[in-house]
Structure 1
Amino acid sequence: MEVFGDQWERRLAELMAFWRRRLEGDYVVDEYGFDAEITERFFMAALRPIATKWFRVEVRGIENIPATGGALVVSNHSGTIPLDALMTMVAVHDNSGRFLRALGADLVFKLPVVSGLARKAGTTLACNEDAERMLAGGELVGVWPEGFKGIGKPFTERYKLQRFGRGGFVSAALRTGVPIVPLSVVGAEEIYPLVGNIPALARLLGVPYIPITPFFPLLGPLGLVPLPSKWLLEFGEPIRTDAYDAVEADDPMLVFNVTDQVRETIQQTLYTLLRQRESVFR
């Protein structure tokens, strides 16, 4: 009763039936390894309290997410640890009913345990081939083009967008004709204020950086608890790409112009949200 409440018998029976089906192999996993049932029942359920109670995520412009069909969500990236991607996946699912299929960095798929969990949650490698196949298949795909430069930037450079790479995400959208939805996230910059780095140790461990924050490593494991900043997620108006021919995805000037448009839209929205924010923590 402590775990399941007054309806403990029914809920326990449902849980037992669920695990029986799983053990018998009666479930569906797509070609990328995505397990929708596990993602909804466990991953989303575990992350939801963090999003709603700890970060108090407020979502705006969710109507700009298409109800069906392929679309590419492009977001700024920050926070030292990429919790912003996880919170975005929860926010999209809970407010639109769709699963956001994230494009992850190589490092994600080199880590034991993390790699398998990421696959089951719908993440795939950030490469044009997988992105185009997903978009053409009608999936909602998320990309964070700043990469490690975004989440690993010093606190003094917070909310200043880094380079968006070579615009590979734009090429994928142009080839498939799907809309690009810019997303601006405010609040993630403050969860782990990055004040230093240990590059020698980072190279030794094969990771992009070893963060130093006001609380880590000084407070040990306690320093890994993120600060409870208030988050704002605003989805901007979709940028249409269906007016272009697929061959135009090979035009570097067009790709650069669209990439710059997406980046500038996100940056200006960040400035607007920061002006509207009353406080970091409320």
Structure 2
Amino acid sequence: MPARSEAQGPTPGRPRAAAASSTTAHDRHPLGDIPVTEWLAALHGAGLEVFGEDWERKLAELMAFWRRRLEGDYVVDEYGFDRELTDRFLMAALRPISEKWFRVEVRGIENIPAEGGALVVSNHSGTVPVDGLMTMLAVHDRADRFLRPLGADLVFRLPFVSSLARKSGATLACTEDAERMLSRGELVGVWPEGFKGIGKPFSERYKLQRFGRGGFVSAALRTGVPIVPLSVVGAEEIYPLVGNVPSLARLLGLPYLPITPFFPLLGPLGMIPLPSKWLMEFGEPIRTDAYTPAEAEDPMLVFNVTDQVRETIQHTLYDLLRQRESVFG
């Protein structure tokens, strides 16, 4: 009887012999043959790609930062300002928005004092106060100073927003806090139009609203610090406000409930700001050190200085609008 060939398969009841070239589970694993040195080289290359040449130091600093956070080993001032968190994370998060989305162009940054107290007074617009955040970033990156914003009551009543505002250096918009910070040499930011500015209809864009009673001027007069007028063009177009629902806004405890061409029609997508071109110009400081603190009680003087600041910002806005080639250019 002829022998059964190998091609015909194994003889029934007889186990197949193990092949010399059989594959083990280790060999079959797709990562099994990669040496440790290649893993380390790949991680090193990834670090270079993401963090640059100095990635090891940056990673070590990041780990140290989180360790301090977990251990509670960090400093905040009496207002809750967390300098390190603001510098490392808030500014870093805002920077690509400023540079890539709004393409903010800053002028007159030399008018920000290198040290000592000063009051930056700006127009306010945009339905959502994004202009305040962009101003903080511009001052931080170009003047190497932290801007301490004065915020409305609503900011400090909102969950999460309140905590973030405090940690980023904001405090309540009251004369007492403003004077304390200015006396300590802080750079303070104020938007006197308040909700009347950011909540005005698109048809009234770049027309300044009332500046209130001039409390910011009184604070500057009492502390003798310069007032730096700031004009911002571009924020009016990020959320063009074409309507409002006042009854629902009152129910929710809000100053207004905006309706834009895209919100609420497009839902969450309508909350993405339009990529308008921004221009910021810091004007020449208005000095107040020639006045005595007692003169801050003179309502006519306060009114005149307030009007001077307002007119300076308004005229600069008109100049910037003429210079801007297009809204989104």
1:19 equivalent to 2:90? Answer: no
2:157 is aligned, of 95, 100, 110, to 110
The residue aligned with 1:153 is 200
Report the CA distance between 1:17 and its aligned residue.
Answer: 1.2
Q: Return the alpha-carbon distance in structure 1 between the equivalents of residues 61 and 223 of structure 2.
A: 41
Alignment length, in residue pairs? 282
Offset at 1:20?
1.1
The DSSP-based 3-state class of the residue aligned with 1:74 is: strand
Q: Secondary structure at the match of 1:47?
A: helix
- Residue type at the aligned position of 2:166: R
**2:178 equivalent to 1:95:** no
Which residue of the partner structure matches residue 170 of structure 1? 217
**Residue 272 (structure 1) aligns with:** 319
Partner-residue secondary structure (3-state), 1:234: strand
| Local SS of the residue matching 1:185 | strand
Give 1:26 deviation, angstroms. Answer: 2.2
Indicate the SS of the match to 1:239: coil
The one-letter amino acid paired with 1:252 is: P
Structure 1 position 14, deviation (Å): 2.1
* Higher RCO (CA 8 Å, separation ≥ 6 residues): 1
Determine the C-alpha separation between the residues in 2 that align with 1:107 and 1:88: 20
Identity of aligned residues (%): 85
Q: Do residues 65 (structure 1) and 112 (structure 2) align?
A: yes
> Does 2:188 correspond to 1:141?
yes
How far the C-alpha of 1:4 sits from its partner, in A, is: 4.2
Q: State the TM-score, normalized to the length of structure 1.
A: 0.98
| Alignment partner, residue 28 of structure 2 | none
Offset of 1:13 from its aligned partner? 2.5
Q: What does 1:191-210 align with in structure 2 at a 5 Å threshold?
A: 191-210=238-257
Distance 1:159 1:8 in 2: 44
Q: Deviations over 1:194-246 (max 9, x none)?
A: 00000010000000011000000000000000000000000000000000000
Q: Distance in 2 between matches of 1:64 and 1:7?
A: 34
Residue in 2 aligned with 1:259?
Answer: 306
2:271 aligned partner: 224
Gaps of 5+ in 1: none
Letter in 2 for 1:21: R
Counterpart among 24, 28, 31 of residue 78 in structure 2: 31
SS of match in other structure, 2:96: helix
State the Cα RMSD in Å. Answer: 1.1
Q: Deviations over 1:37-89 (max 9, x none)?
A: 00000000000110111000000000000000000000000000000000000
Distance change >3 Å, CA 95–CA 6, structure 1 → 2: closer
Shift of 1:21: 1.6
Using structure 2 for the length normalisation, give the TM-score.
0.84
Residue range with higher mean Cα deviation, 128-137 or 7-16: 7-16
2:230 paired residue number? 183
Aligned to 1:244: 291
Q: Return the offset for 1:15.
A: 1.5
Cα separation, 2, equivalents of 1:117 and 1:25: 17
Secondary structure at the aligned position of 2:322 is classed as helix
The SS at the match of 1:184 is: strand
Q: Go from structure 1 to structure 2 and tell me whether the alpha carbon gap of 1:24 and 1:185 turns closer, same or farther (over 3 Å shift).
A: same
Q: Deviations over 1:176-195 (max 9, x none)?
A: 00000000000000000000
1:126 partner amino acid: A
| CA distance in 2: counterparts of 1:105 and 1:186, whole angstroms | 22
Structure 1 consecutive aligned stretches of length 4 or more whose deviation exceeds 3 Å:
2-11
List alignment gaps of at least 5 residues for structure 2: 1-45
The amino acid of 1:206's aligned partner reads G
Using the alignment, how far apart are the partners of 2:133 and 2:187 within structure 1? 15
1:52 pairs with 76, 80, 99, which one?
99
SS of corresponding position for 2:74: coil
CA distance in 1, matches of 2:121, 2:183: 17
Q: Deviations over 1:89-131 (max 9, x none)?
A: 0001100000000000000000011101000000000000000
